[in-house]
Structure 1
Amino acid sequence: MIARYKRIIKALLDANDYVSVTSLADDLHCSEKTVRNDLKVLDQWLKRYPTLTIERKPSVGVCLKGDDEAKEKLLRDLLHISDEEERQLQLLKRLLMTGKPITMQQLADELYTSKSTIHQDLEHIDRWLRPFHLQLVRKPNLGLRVEGEEKNWRMALAKLVEGLVDHAYYMLNEQQLNMVADVLQPYELAFIEKEVQEMEAVLPFPLTDEAKISLAIHIAIAVKRIKQGCRIQMNATQLHELKKKKEYELAKQLAQKIEVWLAIKIPDAEVGYMALHLLGARIRYDQVHIKDGVEPFFREIDEEALRLARLLIEYMSNHIDDRLLNDQELLFGLTIHLHSTLNRLRNGLAITNPMLWEIKRMYRYAFEMVLSFMEQMEKDIQLTIPEDEIAYIVLHIQAALERMHHRKHGRKKVLIVCTTGSGTSRFVEAKFAAAFPEVDVVGIASISQLYKAMEEKKPDLLVSTVPLPSHTNVPTVIVSPLLREHELEMVKDQLFHLRVKQKEKPSYRTIKALVDEQLIFLDLPFKTREHVITYLGGQLYEQGYVDQLYKQSANERESISSTYIGNEMAIPHGEVRLIHQSAIAIGRLQTPIDWGGERVRLVFMMANGIQDKERVKQLFQELVALSEDEELLKQLKQAKTTSEFYQCL
């Protein structure tokens, strides 16, 4: 359970009343959208406490409802989770900080627990180490130790340290430095961060704040490992190529300062390692100013990244929206991102994307489209692109789509209402305009002139200093003339609802049009996703919708990236060229099965050969909406016959 979820539950337990989403977002240093998505995850997690629910009240906030006994148990369980995570963290630090074998009894004594508890914790540690290609080795009569290449060891240490540093603050202040003091020397890390900040001034691009922290951490870990006698190995050809780059010269200057200040000798291979991280650092493109246009600038900096960005945008414009082709901001941002990505991948500096699952769930169609382009791109650059990197690329595409949506639908219009239409309403107008510059205040109306003003101005929201009739048919927020902080939060909450407003009852017409009752299979006994996909793919083949190889193609696609989209639902699919006619085969499992680390019970296997871009987009939007429609999902899971299941859609 991630720390943010625990902090949300703790805040709800402490409040014992409604808490605004805005205040939760402020406390957690994240967006309101993140909090709302976290709350959906917590809805599922709280099912283990049947008497507890998170209740939402528009323009007020959220509240944890339930009996006190269940709340006390939840609090005790949270404390237990904290203790367990803290112990595993200490265990991980101990194993990564020492190069010598250590026995389970020593670990149990140090952490004041039993050997059996340590044994259980080591299973979690083993899983944590695997993505870094590190192995937890048990040596008879000696003990435990972590083994693997030095580069992988450092990546794991960096991940550990970055987990301790709260990136919400994007700074290494005294509190942050103290949090990592038992892994890295605070004064060394602070010195290196200061030097990285100064070095940024001569880079061709400014770095993101997170990239600067990450770079400082990686260099501080390198210093620590050099002191321990552990050195990076780099082949002569790679080092020779790196020495031609400006980043190597900058890394060398930084290394010379570190040698003087920290009294160590940094070999050339270690300077090369610093240069690699500098090349792979994520760049803050909103602070780059180009006078002569995007293409001349990137032809000098990274022509390959520019070429790939153009190919990707052309592909996405053909499949999603042709206006993407003329979006210079997208070309610019994507090119800069690919510049960093290619450097990272070519030098084995993998990154993890903490937003991966959220991006895949929320922007499923854009993710699928980018993923489908990756096969072409991977052949071009002779590299495998992991889904963590793909998800970051999706954010650039999605940002462009939302910019277009904003331009198409315009700014939200607000009408301010008061008793007379003057006086204090001017104060409300001024304060509102300052708090919400992205919204247009279209006028001020008195109660007597309200309906006339609404007819003329057609507002999206009414902000009133007096109670209004319930039949205005426009969302309304009642505030005091002083527009206090909590009232601004209520307005912000309502504006959010306006931006994401959907029909009260979602329509699943596109899905239903592709489903035949003959392709609905209830209570399948399969235990693995491979068996489910093979069975449903076989049914699609037998009824003439797809080629015989379609099920194999879908299984191969699943191995690249899980098609789980939330709420025990997955949407596997294969290559379009193997589809004869579009259809969806649905399988409901007897019991949920493991689907790439998630539980799945409903499988919508798609044979999507639709050519119309808008209809394809609508299909994916409906699938994501369905994965969030808990009432309908409950009906689908309880349906007794295929006919009843079909009628539920």
Structure 2
Amino acid sequence: MKAREIEILRYLLHHRWTHYADIAAATHLSERTVANYLDLLAADVTPYGVTVERKPSVGIRLTGSRSGKQKLGLLVQAKGGLTSQDEREHYLEVKLLLTDRPVTLQQLADDLFVSRSTVEGDFKAVKQRLQQQGVTIRSSHTGVAVTATEEQRRHLIAQLLRQYWGDNLYVKQTKDGQLMQNVQLPRQLQTFFLPALVDGVMAAFAEFTEQTHVTFNDYEFQSLAIHLVIAYKRAEGTPVPPARDPAELRPETRVLLALLAKHLHLQLPPSEQDYINLHLTNMLDQNQHPLTVSADADTAVLSEQLTAWLRDLQPDSELLQGLTLHLASALYRLQAGLSITNPYVAEIKRNLPVAFDTALALTKQLRTAYRVTFNDDEVCYLALHFASFFERQPRRRRIETVVVCSSGIGTSRLLAQRLEERFADSLHITRTIGLAELLKNGVHAQLVISTIPIEGVAAPVVTVNPLLSPADAQHVTAAIQQLTQTARTDSFLQLLPSDMVVVTNEATAYTDVIPAIATRLGEHGVTASPKVVTQAAVARENLASTALKDVAIPHVSPELIQRSAICLWIAPHGIAWAGGATVHLVFFMAVNQAAEQDLRHIYAVINQIIDDETFCRTLSQVPDAVAARQKLTDYIERSHE
């Protein structure tokens, strides 16, 4: 079969009765071309016991044996169908959320052209994911169906669309030379959200901005576009809504609705029109009055407030300016009840924990001052500003280095100067000595760079030419990397001795585990206030759970910690954690300012462990603390080989 036939066949396999116009819209072909390909397809599917049925005024569909359709489905899969588990699960999730009536697992298996047992496994994962979102699935003799409000359905579908939106966004030039955004959704979503629907929304936006000169930022555009794609999908097959008084809507809303109707040939119900009107009203008012949450809350006052709230952080002007501009927009949106979804929440919480916690602390001040609530999406956008600020700060301890040179003071100074210029961020040259001083006093440093070979000293020695050739510079770089790597590994393991590891067979909850960890921290002199640490850690978890996959990473303010340590709590039978998660490993991060330089490396080790599900399972089954510490040591050493 030709590629176009496969595309049409795929569409027919996923739809019962359909029409030439629908197939044309889905495949970007003319209706005449669709008719020609259907003629070819009719001949190609006959050997499979399948017929292309075409009835005037009724529609088009495939009829024939189930086995024949399954074989055709396998053919489509071989040409780029839904072959991965993630694709199938996302298909099932959207299918169930969009369907009000029960559907059998066999019907779902037929839709995906896989065995019933395969669908049962996929369905189990989807059911668990939906239940974590507060949505239940009821089963009966007629099939399975989702029990959820319309708001819940749309929210969950929007989450799925956002997963793909950014990665599949592209810019194209229209026939009249205008540049416009577009999105190519993956096949498992195209089944429900036809390319013609997405293209129509995008085309309407492009014309709208050209006619009204209203512009959307990336966040506003994505939020409203996804809402419209879902709204039009939900409006399919519903009665034409009653006409309403245009005066109830602002002029820009009327323009956008007219353009959407032009491109999609469908009217939205009044409730959807009101949402668009609200969105545009808030966006346009915000552009005219960037911050009007309270009478005195202009950007200058906000900047002063941020300076006071973040005094201990010693923010630079770039951080203050970035936060002020971001919050001037965010506070207005949140006051109006409009929140922007952040597709990178999980990644930010996991990879930028310090920045996330700093942002979370700031939102407490903002909530009191402006009476608005920040969800994780909004907190993570603020966290990016803090992450950039932390990146701008010196974060590496320079390696204490002694330079040994036997060619005279002039040569030694030249070598030291070249090393400082080349490795200013990595090396701190404490002394430059000659051979006589070396023989008399020896050398004590983390690294020795010498123009002569030296044996028998504790520190690593790099032998170089006094003029520091490119090859010499490479050898110095390798030594720096080796020392840095060792420091990173040691900083994690040194904070986690065996007596800070607990293995328990009791199945408990985080409200039991955190007090037990705090007590142990107090017994080992890590904190003087176990009760305060417990209260702070539990409050932090209730605010935003630190659970990631099979691991939780609770932590508290550095001010509560006397000396830095990590406590590892291992529970083979699981711990019921905040937010509904179940974890088997808990790394309690009890670190103060003294360990600040090592935090990046410590979290890098923990993130590596989180990603390695096999190692997590192995670690969660160790018999005792000593075995756990040895497993970690071996694992970290292997990762740096």
| TM-score of the superposed pair, with normalisation by structure 2 | 0.57
Aligned AA (1:257): L
Cα distance between partner residues in 2 of 1:540 and 1:555 = 15
Deviation at 1:255, TM superposition (A): 1.1
Which whole-Å CA distance do the structure 1 matches of 2:415 and 2:518 have between them? 59
Counterpart AA for 1:229: T
Deviations 1:365-411 (A, max 9, x none): 221122223333334444542223211210022224435669x99xx
1 CA distance for matches of 2:383 and 2:240?
Answer: 36
Q: Which residue of 1 aligns with 2:517?
A: 536
What are the within-5 Å matches in structure 2 for residues 446-465 of structure 1?
455=418, 458-459=421-422
Instruction: Name the counterpart of 2:307.
Output: 314
Alignment map for 1:306-345 (pairs within 5 Å):
306=299, 310=303, 313-314=306-307, 317-324=310-317, 327-340=320-333, 342-343=335-336
Q: Sort the Cα spacing of 1:88 and 1:106 in 2 relative to 1 into closer, same or farther, 3 A.
A: same
Give the Å deviation of 1:558.
1.8
2:203, 2:263 within 8 Å by CA — same for their partners in 1?
no
Q: Which residue of 1 aligns with 2:87?
A: 86
Q: Which amino acid aligns with 2:361?
A: S
Match of 1:480 in 2: none
User: Aligned equivalents of 1:278 and 1:170: distance in 2?
Assistant: 24
SS in 2 for 1:298: coil
Measured against aligned partners, the alpha-carbon deviations of 1:287-325 in whole angstroms (never above 9, x if no partner) come to x9xxxxxxx963469975848964773366323233258
Q: CA deviation at 1:215?
A: 2.6
Q: CA deviation at 1:151?
A: 2.8
Aligned to 2:290: 298
Is the contact made by 2:102 and 2:142 (CA closer than 8 Å) also made in structure 1? yes
With over 3 angstroms needed to count, the CA separation of the structure-2 counterparts of 1:157 and 1:530, relative to structure 1, is same
1:362/1:331 CA distance change after superposition, 3 Å? same
Cα 1:268/1:380, change in 2 over 3 Å: farther
Match of 2:588 in 1: 604
The 5-angstrom pairing of residues 48-63 of structure 1 reads none
Instruction: For 1:624, give the aligned amino acid.
Output: Y
Where structure 1 has 5 or more consecutive residues not aligned to the other structure, the ranges are 1-78, 233-238, 289-295, 410-450, 462-467, 477-493
Larger Rg: 2
**CA 1:334–1:218 in 2, change beyond 3 Å: closer, same or farther?**
same
Give the distance between the partners of 2:529 and 2:203, measured in 1 at CA.
Answer: 59
Which amino acid in 1 is paired with 2:137? L
Partners of 1:80 and 1:192 in 2: CA distance: 26
Deviations, residues 24-70 of structure 1 (Å, cap 9, x unaligned): xxxxxxxxxxxxxxxxxxxxxxxxxxxxxxxxxxxxxxxxxxxxxxx
Offset from partner CA, 1:507-528 (integer Å, 9 cap, x none): 69998998898x6244333434
Residue in structure 1 matched with residue 534 of structure 2 by the alignment: 551
**1:94–1:396 CA distance, 2 compared to 1 (3 A):** same
Residue 229 in structure 1 maps to residue 209 in structure 2: no
1:487-502 matched pairs, under 5 angstroms: none
Q: How does 1:504-583 map to 2 (within 5 A)?
A: 504-506=485-487, 520-528=500-508, 529-540=510-521, 545-546=528-529, 548=531, 550-563=533-546, 570-574=552-556, 579=560
Question: 2:363 maps to which residue?
Answer: 374
Match of 1:136 in 2: 137
Distance 2:584 2:356 in 1: 20
Aligned partner of 2:542: which letter?
S
Find the aligned partners of 2:340 and 2:389 in 1 and give their Cα distance. 26
Tell me what 1:441 maps to: none
Partner of 2:256: 254
What does 1:84-483 align with in structure 2 at a 5 Å threshold? 84-130=85-131, 133-138=134-139, 140-163=140-163, 165=165, 167-171=167-171, 176=185, 180-200=189-209, 206-209=215-218, 211-229=220-238, 249-278=251-280, 298-299=290-291, 306=299, 310=303, 313-314=306-307, 317-324=310-317, 327-340=320-333, 342-343=335-336, 346-347=337-338, 351=341, 353-403=342-392, 455=418, 458-459=421-422, 470-473=471-474
> 1:352-375: CA deviations, max 9, x gaps?
x33223322332222112222333
Cα-to-partner distance string for 1:522-558 (whole Å, 9 max, x where unaligned): 4333434443212112334567721535424422322
Are the equivalent residues in 2 in contact too, given 1:533–1:605 (CA < 8 A)? no
Deviates more, 1:502-511 or 1:212-221: 502-511
Helix, strand or coil at the partner of 2:418: helix
Aligned counterparts of 1:231 and 1:162: Cα–Cα separation in 2: 29
- Residues 1:362 and 1:280: Cα distance change in structure 2 (over 3 Å): farther
Question: Aligned letter for 2:259?
Answer: K
User: What is the CA distance between 1:196 and its match in structure 2?
Assistant: 1.5
Inter-partner Cα distance in structure 2 for 1:339 and 1:502: 49
Higher relative contact order (CA 8 A, sep 6+): 1
User: Is the 2:158–2:230 Cα contact (8 Å) retained in structure 1?
Assistant: yes
Measure, in 2, the Cα distance between the counterparts of 1:204 and 1:526: 63
Distance 1:341 1:507, change over 3 A: same
1:4-83 mapped onto 2 (5 Å cutoff): 82-83=83-84
Aligned length: 470
2:570 aligns with: 589
Whether the aligned pair in 2 keeps the contact of 1:312 and 1:373 (CA below 8 Å) is: no
Shift of 1:122: 2.6
Q: Distance in 1 between matches of 2:501 and 2:273?
A: 60
CA 1:550 to 1:95, structure 2 compared with 1: closer, same or farther past 3 Å? Answer: same
User: Unaligned regions of 5+ residues in structure 2, if any?
Assistant: 1-79, 172-180, 398-413, 425-468, 610-615, 637-641
SS in 1 for 2:225: helix
> Against the structure 1 CA distance between its residues 393 and 268, is the aligned structure 2 distance closer, same or farther, given a 3 Å change threshold?
same
* Contact 1:102-1:142 at 8 Å conserved across structures: yes
C-alpha change, 1:573 and 1:459, in structure 2 (3 Å) is: closer
- Mapped partners of 2:619, 2:94: distance in 1: 47
- Residue equivalent to 1:446: none
Aligned equivalent of 2:603: 624
In the alignment, is the contact (CA less than 8 A) between 1:541 and 1:547 conserved in 2?
A: yes
Q: Distance in 2 between matches of 1:227 and 1:308?
A: 48
Give the secondary-structure state (helix, strand or coil) at the position aligned to 2:266: coil
RMSD: 5.5
Partner amino acid for 1:548?
Answer: K
For 1:41, the equivalent position in structure 2 comes to none
In the alignment, is the contact (CA less than 8 A) between 2:496 and 2:568 conserved in 1? no
Q: Is the 8 Å Cα contact of residues 137 and 144 (structure 2) preserved in structure 1?
A: yes
Quote the residue 2:5 is aligned against: none
Counterpart residue identity of residue 355, structure 1 = Y
